[in-house]
Structure 1
Amino acid sequence: MALKFTKLTRPNIRKLLSEGRLQEHGITFDRLTNSDGKYSVNIMVDGQRVHRVIGKESEGVTRKQAEEFIEQVRSDARKGRLNLPKGRKTILQFDQAAEMYLKRMEEEGGKDLKMKKMRLNQNLVPFFKSKPVVQIGSFDIERYKKKRLTSKVAPGTVNRDLAVLSHLFNKGIEWGWWEHRPAKIKRLQENPGRITYLTTEQIARLVEAAKQDQNPHIYPFIVIGLGTGMRRMEILSIRLEHIDLERKTIYIPNAKAGARTQPMTNELAEFLRGYIETAEPGQEWLFPAVGSKTGHTVAIERVFRRVVKNAKLDPEKVVRHTLRHTAITHLVQAGVDLPTVKRISGHKTLSMVEKYAHQNGAHIEAAMDKLQDRLKAAN
């Protein structure tokens, strides 16, 4: 039932003087000294005090949004009472759910656990704290997005946080912690920007600088990155037994989007043949590291920056992932169809590959020239 207001009405709000206040149905409106207005809510829900600043008039906030917040809180409370997982006596709080989620994901062999743990412990848990998960509403999600963006965090970074939150919601349903998703999560629109990639001349300089470097791993790391588009850890964790020189493939059991077989060029296959033939007896990894817990090299950042500098390139712009960007971009610019590029790069969707089709690329001009030639032939 809609609330009826006699005090907190539009005429009264407009007439309210500086430092004045209007209160009704748990909603408070304060007229600030700078003439701006601020809405806040202070109500009791299921024996808990909920006090929240909704926002200011200058931010586009109205009384209606305060009403919607109250309705959302009460609706979430009703769901919380109705949707308790069977056998549980209390509602699962977010910080508890996060800890249990990480433990279960580790037991199930979940992917990208390090980043999930970082995003939960550094960002999501400090924000949602001990709030019952089933009481997290869309308004809370929007508050989280606003807080992160106010901290000058890029929309893409916020979306990665939201992806972890969404996965936690989904797994909670699968594990019987709650029956329905607590809230709908809308991702932020990301600015695709421009992908940094190397020209053929820059590639030659980088490869030559890697050849001259004293580190024995950096040269093959760069050659493989440029020749396949594989991610950093996919390259560093290559097992010799997973390299098939006859089929010219590399098996990647723990790829980001799931296990896949990575194709490679004839030249790269011959390059790797030399490394395999000279490997030590019993050598397991292509990039072995005696002191590493994994048995293979896991960090190559410092060496990579040194090689980039020696190649007269900017280490702030040319990073390890630039090798992947470069390989995929040159595939697209060579006219390879996007489904094939997706198969080579291991991306989940075609939309993730489309961003590599730079609008000012020479391949675009070549395509338009082909269209022009066909139109001329038709006349």
Structure 2
Amino acid sequence: MVNKISKQNLQKLEVGKSITGEGLEVRKTSKGLVFYASTQVHGKRLRDKIGTEQHGMNLTKARIKLKELALSIPENIDLTVAQPNITFSDAAKIYISTSQESGGKNIPQKQQQLNMHLVPYFGKLKIKNISTLSVEKYGHQRLQAGAAVATVNREFATLRHMLNSLSEWGVAETKHIKVKNKSGEKQRVKTFSTEQIAKMLRCAENDHDRYTYFFVLIGFQTAMRHKEILRIRFEDFDFENLTLHIPEAKAGSRVAPIHESLAQVIRDEQRRRGVEAGYLFEADSATGHRTYMKKQFERVLNAAGLSGQGFTPHCMRHTAISITMRSGVSVADAQVISGHKSTQMLLRYTHHNNASVARGVNALASATACNDANAPVKNHVGGDAA
């Protein structure tokens, strides 16, 4: 095993070999380099995958990512025994590190919630001294600071999972802490009208950031989520079959259908850059791609005269799904476009049609050979027509 990490040594690295150093381990596979954060805890090496060369990771980005991860666990903590006096801050480090090692989900989001809000509030407190009241006070303070109820509840979900995990791992006793979600009126997600969509696309095309148009067009045409869009790679497109592979969708890897018009836009951009692979929203960052487009989206809203009306990037997804459902496709087919894990989630986008219901009742009457099967069914069903 080579023990010095450098660009030159990485180029010479043979398949199956690895290099360690600077808190990193880099292994060469048949598909390229794989980068790991590597740290020692009481003689045990913890390895956490940072990224792969195939998906844009390199040595410089790995070094930056290593600093962001902050994986080090204090040397005075022995993971083999319970820690009755462990602080929230140290417990959070163990939670993130162990979750990464075991392939946990949504680690970057959880780490951001911990680093930005939960650790600054609970950090120096010992886990045993945190109470249900402490958690309720945290939630109240976040709401007073302007955080949405949904945002606080997502932070509570991370806190709840962390406490449960620490208890299961035998690190700390946490059953005395109850984390209850905040209640509040559920805000209805706004949808764009056809005219507003046209305005958004025109303004996005005229924005000084060329990525803005791609973001808005893909948002309205595919119903993809904000972060899913920004992780798109050119090689994920199958132009022949008009599909897009989404490897890290919320409900798991999936393949989404795309329209020929979108495929043409992507092909044109690919030819303009002269590349076959890489991120569509490429950026000089640790991830290799843009991670946020909210400012650009708000700029387009302002240009379209729609600012201050409660629109967010997620409204593009909501609009796209609503349009799909109104077009008359089945719920199962709409699920292919939306990427929902279950069809149950799509039912909130549906509205029954009285005429359609009447046709269904007539069909049942015909099938059971009723004497007046051909008689029209009176409209006794309430609700709006689609």
TM-score, normalised relative to structure 1: 0.63
Alpha carbons of structure 1 residues 338 and 165: separation in structure 2 relative to 1, 3 Å: farther
Query: In structure 2, what residue type is equivalent to 1:204?
Result: A
Contact (CA 8 Å) 1:85, 1:178: kept in 2 or not? Answer: no
2:199 aligns with one of 177, 199, 205: 205
Give the distance between the partners of 1:148 and 1:215, measured in 2 at CA.
33
Give the distance between the partners of 1:150 and 1:308, measured in 2 at CA.
27
Give the distance between the partners of 1:335 and 1:200, measured in 2 at CA.
17
Q: Which residue of 2 aligns with 1:221?
A: 215
Give the distance between the partners of 1:114 and 1:97, measured in 2 at CA.
17
Secondary structure, counterpart of 2:256 in structure 1: strand
Deviations 1:95-132 (A, max 9, x none): 32112222333445544444323432443334444444
Q: CA deviation at 1:200?
A: 0.8
Q: CA deviation at 1:339?
A: 4.8
Secondary structure, counterpart of 2:221 in structure 1: helix
The correspondence of residues 65-214 of structure 1 with structure 2, limited to 5 A, is: 87-88=81-82, 90-108=84-102, 110-133=104-127, 136-149=130-143, 151=145, 153-178=147-172, 181-214=175-208
1:377 and 2:376 equivalent? yes
Give the distance between the partners of 1:180 and 1:300, measured in 2 at CA.
38
Q: CA deviation at 1:243?
A: 0.8
Report which of the two structures shows the higher radius of gyration computed on alpha carbons: 1
1:317 and 2:313 equivalent? no
Contact (CA 8 Å) 2:82, 2:172: kept in 1 or not? Answer: no
Give the distance between the partners of 1:220 and 1:152, measured in 2 at CA.
31
Give the distance between the partners of 1:323 and 1:167, measured in 2 at CA.
30
When the two chains are superposed, the root-mean-square deviation of aligned CA atoms in Å is 3.4
The correspondence of residues 265-280 of structure 1 with structure 2, limited to 5 A, is: 265-280=259-274
Q: Which residue of 2 aligns with 1:300?
A: 293
Contact (CA 8 Å) 1:135, 1:182: kept in 2 or not? Answer: no
Give the distance between the partners of 1:306 and 1:139, measured in 2 at CA.
41
Query: In structure 1, what residue type is equivalent to 2:189?
Result: I
Query: In structure 1, what residue type is equivalent to 2:353?
Result: A
Q: CA deviation at 1:354?
A: 4.6
Secondary structure, counterpart of 1:250 in structure 2: strand
Query: In structure 2, what residue type is equivalent to 1:288?
Result: E
Contact (CA 8 Å) 1:111, 1:256: kept in 2 or not? Answer: no
Q: Percent identity?
A: 33
Q: CA deviation at 1:227?
A: 0.8
Gaps in structure 2 of 5+ consecutive residues: 1-77, 362-374, 379-386
Contact (CA 8 Å) 2:358, 2:377: kept in 1 or not? Answer: no
TM-score, normalised relative to structure 2: 0.62
Q: CA deviation at 1:157?
A: 2.1
Alpha carbons of structure 1 residues 224 and 99: separation in structure 2 relative to 1, 3 Å: same
Query: In structure 2, what residue type is equivalent to 1:367?
Result: N
Give the distance between the partners of 2:196 and 2:249, measured in 1 at CA.
28
Alpha carbons of structure 1 residues 211 and 105: separation in structure 2 relative to 1, 3 Å: same
Q: Which residue of 2 aligns with 1:39?
A: none
Alpha carbons of structure 1 residues 141 and 312: separation in structure 2 relative to 1, 3 Å: closer
